[in-house]
Structure formats: C-alpha cells, structure tokens
Amino acid sequence: MNTLQQLLPFNPNKKYLSNNDVNLAIQINRFDGGGVVIGLNFRHIVADTAASIGFIKNWAKLNSSDDSSIINYKDVVVDCTDTFPRNKEIPSYARRINEWQRVPECVTKRFVFDGSKVAALRGEIMKQETSLSLNQYHRTRFEAVSGLIWGALIDMDREKNVGSTCIAAIPVNLRNRINPPLPEDCVGNLYHALTCTATKSLARSISESTKMVNDDFVRKVYQDGGDVFLNQYREAVEEILKGGAGTNNYYNGVRLFGFTGVIRLPFYEPDFGWGKPVWSTTAMSHSNIAALLDTCDGNGVEAWVGLPINDIPKFEQDPSILTYASFIPSYRSRI
C-alpha cells in the first residue's frame, strides 16, 4: 500500500481535507523498463467511482484522437437537482464518518480471488441457498465475495465479543436506477448507501437490499429537499459515533463494515495509445472498508480489506478466506 501511494500526487488517506485541496491531481510515473503508471486523486465531493472512470475513459479517447467531437459533453455535466436537491448538512455528516474511518491503526491488505475460486464460491452459495429452500439465483461476483468477507467478520466478532453485530454498508450507483436513467459518465456523487443485516444467506441479503433501490425508492427518499434521506443519515451517523470509539473498533456493540465495488466498471478499457492497462487498483486505506475490483482477466476479484491492526491476523486465518483467497499475487492476475 505504501508503494502504491508513492505513485499518486498526494496521500489519499490523510485524515483531514482542507478547502485548498485540489479536486483532481494526476501523476505520470515512467520506469526504466518502459512501463508507465498513471496515478489519479479525485476528491470524492466531486466524483464517485463511476464518474472517475468516466473521466479516465474520455481522457483516453481524447489522448488518442484529434477529434474532440468523440466526447458527448452533454453526458458529462447533467443538471439533476430536481431529483437530488442540494442539502448543505449532508457534507458535514459525511466528513465525520470519513474522519472516523481514517484511523492511524488501520491496516489494509490485498486478497485475490481468482476466477476459478469465485466460480466455485458462487456454486457453493447456490447449493447452500437450495438447501435452505431459498430461491435459486447465481449470485454476482460482488455479492459472493462481499458475503464471504462479511461472514468471516461476523464469525471473528462473535468469537471475541459475544452478542456483537456486524452490519454491512453497500453503495448503489443511482445512474441506472432512476427513470429516465442518467448518463453513465456524468460527474457527481450519485450513489445511495444501504445497510444490510445478516440473514441465513449473506450474499442474498446484499442482493435483496440493492434490488430495493429503484426509481420509486429514489424519488421517495430524495423528494422534498432530501429530508427523508437526511433524517435517516443523521440518525445513523449519531448512532454510530455515540459515545466515541469503543474497544476493538466497536460502537455500541456494532461494527459497521462498508463494501465499495467497482466490479464490471471499465477500468481495464481506457487506452491512451500504448495499450490497455495490465493492472488497475486503489490505494485507499480505511478502517472497516473493503474495496472490490476486477482482476485483469475480468473473472476474479481483488479485495483490499481495511481493518484495525489487531483484527487482521484473525481475519487472515478464517477458514473461508483461506479456502478462496490468495495472498501471493499470480502473474496471470497481474497484481
């Protein structure tokens, strides 16, 4: 992680952001062997993951062509304030959560689930759900791997703190959830964070929660200036931070663990003229957050898991993590 951060214009994990921080910074790294690494820092207040890849994709197009008309600029900046009215209170609560997650004792490690392991995991989940008389459904790679990590955390927490609860937070891209849909490249933070509670099938819990986010859901939550969303967000933040930090990173006996996924977003597609990327990854390090990305072949999952330093050894020894994850990068995954 420290090596990756050296390839960026500035450390993306510093605890406090000032008004003087730039919205976008780029660092081009050239190596003696001919390799090139492009490091980008986006301020989340300007762009979420979908907007970031949209920028990179359009930048690559312009870099390899003299025809600026290949970019539809009307799809980049879209006025959606009718659906998502601005609310000045939201950033202050988001900043409090952001600062809480950037704890110095956090350790972030990479776990690689190659394509064959992910396929086996998805098959195993289907068998389990069949035995539980649940509707058969081939869970997505994101749902399968997120459910596996979530289950490992639940088992770990129960072993050392009986009665604890681990809640999963899942961001959902809203661009294609409303009618009419917004352009996939439009700039902004157009996602909604859901919380999921554990059921018999963790992957199914994630799937069912995200399915709830449709056009009716979005318009109900964000209508009237977003009061419904703001009230829910305020209550959640106050509950999480009530009484300050607890032991072992628990808050009132609850661990809130976030999953952020860029799986199936075209991070391996941009071509600046010297070929497509062999590796695209993140250098973010937050406590109780896992970033899930595609592997180079598009079949596996690369998971960067951030946990308090005392939790990492136990998490690494979880039987399910040992079964499906690899800790030593393979050449094929280009990691």
Residue for token pair 């919380």: 195
Tell me which of 44, 75, 155, 215 is the catalytic residue: 44
Bridge partner residues of 30 (DSSP): 36
Residue 271 bears catalytic tag: yes
Tell me which of 75, 155, 271, 318 is the catalytic residue: 271
Q: In what order do the strands lie in the sheet with 254-261?
A: 106-113, 301-308, 289-294, 254-261, 165-173, 191-196
DSSP assignment of 175-231: TTTSSSPPPTT--S--EEEEEE---S-HHHHHHHHHHT-SHHHHHHHHHHHHHHHHH
On the 0-12 / 13-18 / 19+ scale of CB atoms within 10 A, 19 is exposed
> Within 13 Å and on the Cβ side, how many CA atoms surround 252?
10
Residue 44 bears catalytic tag: yes
Return the structure tokens found at 166. Answer: 């681990």
From residue 67, give the alpha-carbon distance in Å to each of 49, 120, 201.
26, 46, 50
Rounded to whole angstroms, how far apart are CA atoms 180 and 176? 8
Residue for token pair 């995954």: 333
Bridge partner residues of 167 (DSSP): 256
Name the maximum alpha-carbon separation found in the chain.
Answer: 62
What phi and psi values does residue 281 have, to the nearest 5 degrees?
Answer: -150, -175
Q: Which residues form the catalytic set?
A: 44, 271
